Amino acid sequence: MQIDFAAKELTVKLVYYGPALSGKTSNLRAIHWLGTSSACGELMTLETQNDRTLFFDMLPITVSSGTGLKVRLKLFTVPGQVMHNATRRLVLQGTDGVAFIADSQRSEADANRESFLNLKRNLQENKIDPDGIPIIIQFNKRDMSSIRTDEELELIAQRSKEPIYKAVATRGYGVMQTLRGLIRDTWAKLEDDHQLEEKFGISPIRFMTEVEAKLKHDPGPRER
Amino acid sequence: MHDQTDAADIMMGDVVRLEDVLSRDSVTSVCKSFFSLFGLPVRVITHEGDLLADVHRDQPLCNYLNTLDAGERECAKTVGVVRDLEPELQTIVHPCFTGAVYRIVPLEYQGRPIGRFIVGPYVPAETTQPPASLLSVDAAIDSAAACGHFETMPRVREHIAKEISDHLKGVLELLLFSGHRAQLASTMQVASVRENYRELAEKNEALESSLDELKQLDQLKSTFLATVSHELRSPLTSIIGYTEMLESGAAGALSDGQAEFLGTIRSKADQLLGLISSLLDLGRLEAKSLDLKHESVDAHALLSDLAATIVPTANRRNVALDVQVGEQTPKLWGDPVRLSQILLNLADNAVKFSDEGGTVTIRAERGDIDAAGASGLGAALFSASRPAVVLTIEDGGMGIAEQNLSKIFDAFYQVDAGTTRVHGGAGLGLSIVKQLVDGHEGKIEVTSTPGEGTTFVVTLPAADDDA
């Protein structure tokens, strides 16, 4: 996080991590599409010719609070392909929270696990404690066949340290809930570490209310 | 304030300065196009106050006012105020005492002010008369001239001015977005290459350190082998010596049983001595401390000696020997003892692995040895092929499977662990042969067909005087 006391401005970095083709860019596209234009800036994608993320995607969201505090949320994705590990590590630098986008398909379970271990290693390499940073997990592609069932996810959620969300990012289902969850957990951690309420006079509840208002265009879950 | 965009800002995906992502040329070019289309002066200023582009034409009214003391002062004051105005979110329309206006439009990127552009001075088309503030600015002003110049000022309706300013803002922000994207891509490219390089350098360092460790262990192994072999050989020499003395009757006559047992002790002790000698040779070869003599060696004599040595073993196994030396075969250049060792080892193996009733062919003939390989790159730069002696040892035995061929020259390697029990040996022979051939700057090749036999071809340099 970057704090500019003079400008009453906070910049918070949130990274969407996960295995190749799990839907990280789709999440950002959906947020860009669903979010209000007053909050969401332009979605920047740095991709190859065949639409695979080369370096990252970035979506800036600006929340100007009634207290005069301006919060700039910078949403990044990492390239999921194994060969881009150095880039993933770079993008992860200075992150404040991570949304891990897992692929719900049973066949991708190994890729999910491998990518999560890679996330832990890269956080450690960046001197970020994986046990201290807010991480949430989104099981994406709920509309595919051969996926882990809702009951299985319920069981996983019961014993998971990280909150679990479900999504169909290509249709916008669940992406805003995931984003709000990520912002809420990240803000709570930043509040603990930096006493933002004391410094800027904004409580976590008020901040989240303002975020919700800014991102209110979420149509909510859609019928499959 | 930053002198330049630093890594932390890049990692946050931020633009620190407008000029980092927008080139002066492209901004100026856009402003020129804007000016030629609408005739309105335009200036682009960074958040830090630097002028990035300035496209305007001097207005006759301004030129005239600058000839008057008070007029010049008022002009300078207005321009100064306009230049320092930095709107936060909304466009500011700042009036000039001449009746013209300046439109100051903020440029914002990702929630941060990054600069502004100023359109003007222009006169809103709605204003038809010059204001009193123009005509009273200086006691010496010529009202008719001032009014005349006022008429020549660029004019545009305010709602049109707003629309074209919004359009210019859109164009500049698009340029900014593209420039930022390009900047991030190139910075990430460089950062990723650096990160990959750092990672590879770390891995290389770890590998080098492992290699050093392995080399040390290998050296320890060689020293250990040499020491143990040497320490084993001394008492073994005594055992063999005393056994020979007992066999010769130096300690009295022996019964048949005693003589048979002593014969077994001697045979096994000889076998052990052979193994220990091989270990010592290997140790010296690996440590490159084995001195090889170099002299002319006659191939006929070498093969005759070899045949004489190997014949008893071949006869015992009922294997025929076919020794051939080509007429043009030159002399070899090497160490006679070690050359014999090479041939004996290969011939002994050939006999050992031949089926009963089979034939082992040992052939020497003239050949070539090529330093750079048959068609090696840069062959012209290497010495041309030189005369050589090609020694071929061919058997009709069990053969070696293709996947094992590359390993047979490794020390202690046995194609089949069972062969040790049947044929003896510790898997050192071929390793020593290979190292001896290398030591003579020769080469050894093997071809084999399982069930049909194996052929070893050793190519060794010929002596110069015989070439």
**Percent share of chain A, pLDDT over 90:** 72
Predicted confidence (pLDDT) per residue in A74-121, tens digit: 999 999 888 889 999 999 999 999 999 999 999 999 999 999 999 999
Average pLDDT over residues A178-186: 96
pLDDT of the residue at B6: 47
If you measure CA to CA, which chain B residue comes closest to A41?
Answer: B110
CB contact under 8 A, B192 and A2: no
Q: How many CB pairs under 8 A join A and B?
A: 65
Q: What is the pLDDT of residue A174?
A: 96
A116 has a chain B CB within 8 A of its CB: no
Q: Do B12 and A41 touch (CB under 8 A)?
A: no
Q: What is the pLDDT of residue B298?
A: 92
Cβ neighbours around A112 below 10 Å, total: 20
**In this predicted structure, what is the pLDDT of residue A223?**
34
pTM as predicted: 0.68
Which of the residues in chain B have pLDDT under 50? 1-6, 372-374, 420-421, 466-467
Selecting from A42, A60, A89 the residue whose C-beta is nearest the C-beta of B195 gives: A89
Q: How far is B36 from chain A (nearest CA, A)?
A: 30
pLDDT digits (tens, 9 = 90+) for B344-357: 889 998 998 888 88
Span A7-65, pLDDT tens digits: 889 999 999 999 999 999 999 999 999 887 778 888 998 877 677 777 889 999 999 88
Residue A196 has pLDDT above 70, yes or no: yes
Q: Encode pLDDT of B288-338 as tens digits.
A: 777 888 899 999 999 998 888 888 888 988 999 999 999 889 999 999 888
Domains of chain B: residue spans and CATH: 7-194 (3.30.450), 196-284 (1.10.287.130), 292-466 (3.30.565.10)
Q: Do B185 and A46 touch (CB under 8 A)?
A: yes
What residues does each domain of chain A span?
2-214
* CA–CA distances in Å: residue B430 to residues B46, B317, B403, B438: 78, 21, 17, 12
Say if the ipTM goes beyond 0.85. Answer: no
Check if A13 contacts B (Cβ < 8 Å). Answer: yes
Q: What residues in A contact B185, CB-CB < 8 Å?
A: 46, 54-55
Structure confidence at residue B377 (pLDDT): 59
Cα B133–Cα B139–Cα B144 angle in degrees, nearest 5: 70
Per-position b or e across B217-226, b if 16+ CB within 10 A of its CB: eeeeebeebb
Å from A210 to nearest chain B CA? 16
Query: From the CA of B103, how many Å to the nearest CA of chain A?
Result: 23
Give the residue on B whose Cα is nearest the Cα of A15. B12
What is the fold, at CATH topology level, of the domain defined by A2-214? Rossmann fold (3.40.50)
- Residue B400 confidence (pLDDT): 87
- The per-residue DSSP string of B319-370 comes to -EEEEEE-TT---EEE-HHHHHHHHHHHHHHHHHTSPTT-EEEEEEEEEEE-
Find the residue in B nearest to A44 (Cα).
B181
What per-residue confidence (pLDDT) applies to B374? 45
The per-residue pLDDT for B425 is 57
Q: Which residue of A has its CA nearest to B9?
A: A2
Task: Annotate B149-193 with three-state secondary structure.
Answer: HHHCCCEECHHHHHHHHHHHHHHHHHHHHHHHHHHHHHHHHHHHH
Measure the CA–CA gap between B350 and B272, rounded to whole angstroms. Answer: 21
Residues in chain B with CB shorter than 8 Å from the CB of A58 are 13, 184
> Residue holding tokens 């020997």?
B321
Q: A143 CA to chain B: closest CA distance, Å? A: 33
pLDDT at B384: 59
Put simply, the chain A residues between 55 and 114 with a CB less than 8 A from any chain B CB are 55-56, 58, 60, 62, 64, 70, 72, 74, 76, 84-87, 89-91, 93-94
